[in-house]
Structure 1
Amino acid sequence: MKNDSNRTRKLGTAPAWLSGLALCVVAVAPTPVGAQLARKPSYYQQQNQPQPEGPAAQLVPRPAVPASMPALRSQGDFDTLARVYDAGTPMQLAHVLFAIDRQAKPARMHYIDTPRFQLHVRFLRDTRLTPNTIKREIDRNYLVPDRRFLFGTLSWQQNIGTFTYEFWEGDRLTVPLLREAEAQVKASFFAPVKFKTNSTLHERIAKEAGIDFVSQEALIREQPYLPMNLGTATGRVRIVNDAFGLNALLPDDIAVLREVPINLPPVAGVLTERPSTALSHVNLLAKGWGIPNAYVRDAATVLKAQAGQWVALKVAASGYQLRRLSPEEIAALPPRAVRAAATGALPGSGKAAKPDLRETRLLPLASLRARHSVQCGSKAANLGAVLAARIPSTTVPDGFCIPFAHYDRFMRSNGLAERIARMQQQPGFAGDPQVRQKALAQLRDEIVQWPVDAATAAAWRAAWQSQLGGGGVFVRSSSNSEDLPGFSGAGLYTTVPNVKTGDGLELAVKKVWASVFNPEAWEARSAAGFGAESVLMGVFVQTAIDSTNAGVMITRDPFDAGHPHVTYISAKRGIGIRVVEGKRVAEQVMYSSWSKAIQVLSRSAEETALQLDKDGGVKEVPVEVGRHVLTDELVVRLANVGAAVKRTFNAVDQDIEWATVGDKIVLLQARPYVERRR
């Protein structure tokens, strides 16, 4: 079970169906698995999926095939025993299970009739090789050195044009076991074959054994397609080459992005030419809106003929499908206003948390609990709850909350409501994104210039000096329209880093307040049904830390909700501002508390990192290229901390911002992980 249900899978080279596009760009064969891990589908998961009906359900009888072969001496032998997942798609994977019986003298290789025996254990029992072996004895063959069997899979990796053999990521391989497997496979197979590693343990063992290998990370880098958020959408294809095109996007557009932007206005679907991480702002927005999102190599070139056309898009685990709509289908589409209301609208999310404006005190972090979200916003309140949980081996930088009441009083005294009303009455504001952007920028500039009441500003400075020692601080947003159960709001508002003066603190607070009117925030809230008048901004002033590493993690597999035992971790060196930008792929790993395996999706290749500047703000510094950000020990510690944070919030999966300083894990934020599919 283990070896089959956790097998990694591989994409193909740029196939013929990517050229000469007409009505149907790609045919898909959906599977319920996380393709970001290049994971082979679990046989057990496939059994639980709806089965095809009609002619597709009629199986073609197979000729008589032996239960196993001691060797595969030709391509024909391989094809005879192979099972093929996702045939004809970029995820196609032909593979044959094998079992090496180490008890036989000499050791005996069994290449298994894989369509007939989908699991190693079925082969053992059905062929009477081990007819009465209990599960505990079978499991020993993955976990101990003196096992009887080595269970593996041999696959054709079409994207790199070679065969590979591999083991379940949780297999506790040793150097002698791997050397034995290497000798047996190469002596019994007709073509060159490489070992494929599925965990950091496997990589270490291969290096110690002196065996050449191909890593899962290397295979993922070659994939021409990565589904980030599965789903379907109808819209008009818009190829976006620059910021001007980004600003012109409409809610019924399917955006084809040449670059991964930091933010994105609400759209119907997203295809990008550059891969990004599961926690890039663009992907978090896509998940929150419930829209399809995928990386497609050379997307703008591949989809050039579709530009401006109305299409139906489907992003599936094994491929994507883009079909032009007929004139009749286009005529039947609802009006744009109806489509815009549907795009990204989340059930129950269009209601910001009702604020309590009676609280005017500056509340220190140590006093905050979840109930204070009505005064300070969920971001600050959640961090207070994390501090109170006293999670071992973690720290939370001290800070204080400037409550909603300060924002409300400031905006009322400066006539914000009337200013918004005039802005919305401008010609073109409702229908033209570029008109909105210009008007919102003007409003933000005005807000930053408006004066703060002298007594209020003095109170901020006093708290900064007395509680935080007048040192550098991050001034962060904590509105009543983010970190909600149905609406993340990730990346919508402004953080001002490493503020070091009293005047700078006052300006930074106003910048965070003004970010309520960031264009991406305005568009996202509009799509989710938030009225501008219902949004208030709290501010969290937090001690700045000069982190060694920083990142984000999700307390489950973001690519497959069926893997709650998995923690996804994304990291970069230095301060974590860039982790969620998506412009460069961060280091990404997955840790399974079940298999205890660490799987690498990508390693960071950056040459610079951000650190605190002694004069305020941040600076870019060179770093050693090629050094791993995440050690295995740190990955396990982070996963355990993530599980503790999740328990703090009643077992709701969390999106957690973290950093490291020395041997301490620093917790900077915890918000509900929001995902919605349409």
Structure 2
Amino acid sequence: MLLLFALPAEAREQRAWVKSIPDAAAWKIYSKSVSSDELGKFIIDLKTNDIYFIDVNTFNIHADFVLGVLLKKAWTAENVREYNKNYEREKPKFILGYITHHVKIDKWSFAFWEGDKIGPADIIRARKRLEDTFFRKALPFRPDSPMQLKVAVDVKKQGVPVITNDQIYKAADYQAFNKGRAVGKLRIVPVGTPYDALTFERHEIVLLQESYPDITPVAGILATTFSTPLSHVNLRANAWGIPNAGDKKAREKFGKLEGKIVYYEVTETKIVLREATPAEIKELEGKLLDRKTVRLPPAQIDNPKFAMLTRMRAKDAVIYGTKSANLGEIVTANLEGVNVPAGFGVPFFYYVQHMRANGLDKKVEALLADPKFKTDAAWRKSALETLREAIKAAPIDQASLDAIYKRVKLKLGGKGVFVRSSTNAEDLAGFNGAGLYDTVANVVGKKPIGEAMKVVWASVWNLRAVDAREAFG
């Protein structure tokens, strides 16, 4: 079910983050291409002034790294609420930023999520840290919202150069972020809807009138607020391959279609949004009945043996999960410049043992059998949170924990380990599962390892993980 990595400080930095980007080669490793841009992310700890350039190919959004690595907390509603306070004007712990190379015009910028209420002092502080740690100097600040545009006036007076989205993307009422077509039920999210209250169905086409830090899988997205290809929601849409566009007048143009089954198409120059024809509705019904499926490797749950990565091969995915098995193949390949920290796989046996011993398998069966699980998104969200808390609260088998910790001391020196997911529903062809499950970093000691294992086991039932698995059959 999960994998334990022994990661000394230098190895942890190389895999998950670095404290500086000294050259273009390092930028290539820790950034990724999105549309025509190259995107990197940084986090500044306000207490220590440490900066982390995170691997955006491993961590889809800042929250994945902050909660999983820096704070070592599970993805719960309460923890996400606390994390989101870092987007307020007065930030309790972190500055969360982006660096973008706008390849088409060969310009660079640093920026913040459009919903971030960051003030001048934190923008200037971020730029100073970037000057010390990033290979491109004199980065301009790129405001991403009307509020940030006002703040930009102040920081410009204090010597920080500013580049606007209009200069980069050109002013336009219409923006095509991800071209494509979909048929689904149009849902208009009212202004003022809090992020915590957002729950969506997979077949919905949603019209958003505000910026949100994340979204669960949907069939299509249309937004009325200005955005960029690099916003959180746009990155999700890009990963899901769904039509996604911005139109400042979308509410006025398409409001009458709310609640109806619609045809939605995004092209380079325009949106088509209209009532679906009977044939298109039939097409949607067919897709709901016959969704794209990803074949999962079968799971062997009767094998209690641990295995080092050096002993694992692809065939062992049925025992230890695809991530463990894939890493075993990488270790065996001994590729130049690819360093995989020592680690071992904990088989599915122990997850099943934990669930059965505490009656949690019956809770899962009842949950999945309830019709509301598929038809009521709000109920599903609440029920899954209750299940995760039950998994974490249940006592772990002491003999099993003793055996796992003995292996940590024997094979990994008893030092800090990463406790990571390795399921049979990730790292698959057509479904990589990136960012769905939780990781607990730098765990030391037997009891903390037991608690971390339960956090990772519980994350199998994260809302975003369940929705993503359901979307891919």
TM range (shorter): 0.5 to 0.7
**In structure 2, how many angstroms separate the alpha carbons of the residues matched to 1:167 and 1:425?**
51
**Which of 242, 252, 263 is the aligned partner of 2:203?**
252
Contact 1:312 1:324 in 2 (8 A): yes
- Which structure shows the higher strand fraction? 1
Pair 1:242–1:341, CA change in 2 (3 A): farther
Q: 1:388 to 1:227 in 2, by over 3 A?
A: farther
Contact 1:226 1:296 in 2 (8 A): yes
- Equivalents in 1 of 2:390, 2:421: separation in Å? 19
1:36–1:220 CA contact under 8 A, matched in 2: no
2:419, 2:233 → 1: CA distance?
19
Determine whether 1:231 maps to 2:175.
no
1:314 corresponds to: 265
Which runs of structure 2 are paired with 1:160-179 in the superposition (5 Å)? none
Are 1:346 and 2:295 matched, yes or no?
no
| CA spacing shift, 1:526–1:368, aligned 2, 3 Å | same
Deviation at 1:244, TM superposition (A): 4.8
Alignment counterpart, residue 412 of structure 2, candidates 443, 453, 468: 468
Post-superposition offset of 1:287: 4.1
Q: Secondary structure at the match of 1:311?
A: strand
Show the 5 A alignment for 1:55-94: none
Q: Could you say which residue in structure 2 is the equivalent of 1:364?
A: 308
Counterpart for residue 36 of structure 1: 35
Aligned CA distance change for structure 1 residues 221 and 371 (closer, same or farther; 3 Å): farther
Shift of 1:434: 0.8
Give the number of the structure whose alpha-carbon radius of gyration is greater: 1
**Which residue of 1 is the match for residue 392 of structure 2?**
448
Q: Residue deviations 1:592-648, cap 9 Å, x none? A: xxxxxxxxxxxxxxxxxxxxxxxxxxxxxxxxxxxxxxxxxxxxxxxxxxxxxxxxx
- Asked if the contact 1:340–1:527 (Cα under 8 Å) also holds between the matched residues in 2, the reply is no
Q: Residue 475 of structure 1 contacts residue 512 of structure 1 at CA under 8 Å; is this kept in 2? A: yes
Matching of residues 575-654 of structure 1 within 5 Å: none
- In the other structure, the counterpart of 2:194 is 242
3-state SS in 1 of match to 2:264: strand
- Conserved? CA contact 1:285–1:490, under 8 Å: no
Aligned in 2, Cα 1:325/1:215: closer, same or farther, shift over 3 Å? closer
For the 8 Å contact 2:215–2:236, the answer to whether it is kept is no
- 1:377 aligned to which of 306, 321, 324: 321
Which among 390, 393, 397 is matched to residue 337 of structure 2?
393
How far did residue 449 of structure 1 move?
Answer: 1.7
- Contact kept in structure 1, 2:186 and 2:257, CA below 8 Å: yes
Give the Cα–Cα distance (whole angstroms) in 1 for the partners of residues 413 and 445 of structure 2.
11
Give unpaired runs (5+ residues) of structure 2.
Answer: 1-32, 38-102, 107-134, 139-162
- Higher RCO (CA-CA < 8 Å; seq separation 6+): 2
Looking at structure 1, the residues matched to 181 and 206 of structure 2 have their Cα atoms a distance apart, in angstroms, of: 14
* Matched residue SS, 1:333: helix
CA distance in 2 between counterparts of 1:439 and 1:419 reads 10
Letter in 2 for 1:333: I
User: Where in structure 2 are the equivalents of 1:197-346 lying within 5 Å?
Assistant: 219-220=168-169, 227-240=176-189, 241-247=193-199, 249-257=200-208, 258-264=210-216, 266-272=217-223, 273=225, 274-277=227-230, 283=235, 287-288=239-240, 290-294=241-245, 307-316=258-267, 318-325=268-275, 329=277, 333-334=281-282, 338-341=286-289, 345-346=291-292
Match of 2:79 in 1: none
Q: For 2:219, give the aligned amino acid.
A: A
1:233 deviates by 0.5
Structure with bigger helix share is 2
Q: Please give the alpha-carbon distance, in whole angstroms, between the structure 2 residues aligned to 1:167 and 1:420.
A: 50
Residue 275 of structure 2 aligns with an amino acid whose one-letter code is L
Amino acid across the alignment from 1:293: N
Distance in 1, matches of 2:174 and 2:462, equals 32
User: Do 2:237 and 2:244's aligned partners in 1 also have CA atoms closer than 8 Å?
Assistant: no
Per-residue deviation at 1:447?
Answer: 1.1
SS of 2:438's equivalent in the other structure is: coil
1:469–1:492: structure 2 CA closer, same or farther, 3 Å change rule?
same
Distance 1:455 1:425, change over 3 A: same
Report the Cα distance in structure 2 between the residues aligned to 1:337 and 1:393, rounded to whole angstroms.
49
**Could you say if the C-alpha distance between residues 443 and 294 of structure 1 is closer, same or farther in structure 2, counting changes exceeding 3 Å?**
same
Aligned to 1:104: none
Question: 1:512 and 2:463 equivalent?
Answer: no
User: Residues of 2 paired with 1:277 and 1:519: CA distance?
Assistant: 23
CA distance in 2, matches of 1:371, 1:223: 52
Inter-CA distance 380–302: structure 2 relative to 1 (3 Å threshold)? farther
The DSSP-based 3-state class of the residue aligned with 1:394 is coil
Q: Distance in 1 between matches of 2:171 and 2:280?
A: 40
Please tell me the residue identity of whatever aligns with 2:442. N
Q: What CA distance in whole angstroms lies between the structure 2 residues aligned with 1:430 and 1:231? A: 26
Q: What TM-score does the superposition give when structure 2 sets the normalisation length? A: 0.57
Say yes or no: does 1:437 pair with 2:437: no
Cross-structure match for 1:42? none
- Distance in 2 separating the partners of 1:366 and 1:221: 52
2:247, 2:388 → 1: CA distance? 36
| Cα distance between partner residues in 2 of 1:35 and 1:426 | 39
What secondary structure is seen at the aligned counterpart in 1 of 2:181? strand
Determine the structure 1 residue equivalent to 2:15. Answer: none
Shift of residue 509, structure 1, vs aligned partner:
0.8
Give the aligned partner of residue 59 of structure 2: none
CA distance in 2, matches of 1:35, 1:301: 30
Counterparts of 1:463 and 1:496, CA distance in 2: 18
Per-residue deviation at 1:364? 1.8
In structure 1, the residue corresponding to 2:298 is in which secondary structure? coil
User: Does the CA-based 8 Å contact 1:355-1:480 persist in structure 2?
Assistant: yes
Q: Shift in Å at residue 370 of structure 1?
A: 2.4
Contact 2:183 2:280 in 1 (8 A): no
Decide whether the 8 Å contact of 2:392 with 2:451 is kept in 1: yes
**SS state of the match for residue 476, structure 1?**
strand
**Equivalent position amino acid for 1:480 in 2:** N
**Aligned equivalent of 2:354:** 410
Structure 1: stretches of 5+ with no match in the other structure: 1-33, 39-165, 170-199, 204-213, 530-678
**Aligned partners of 1:221 and 1:456: how far apart in 2?**
59
Matched residues in 1 for 2:165 and 2:333: separation?
A: 37
Distance 1:225 1:389 in 2: 48
Asked if 2 retains the 8 angstrom alpha-carbon contact of 1:251 and 1:267, the reply is yes
Partners of 1:35 and 1:404 lie apart in 2 by 35
- Whether the aligned pair in 2 keeps the contact of 1:260 and 1:276 (CA below 8 Å) is no
Mapped partners of 2:215, 2:345: distance in 1:
26
Question: 1:238·1:254 contact (CA, 8 Å) conserved in 2?
Answer: yes
Alpha-carbon distance in structure 1 between the residues aligned to 2:430 and 2:300: 21
Partner of 1:422: 366
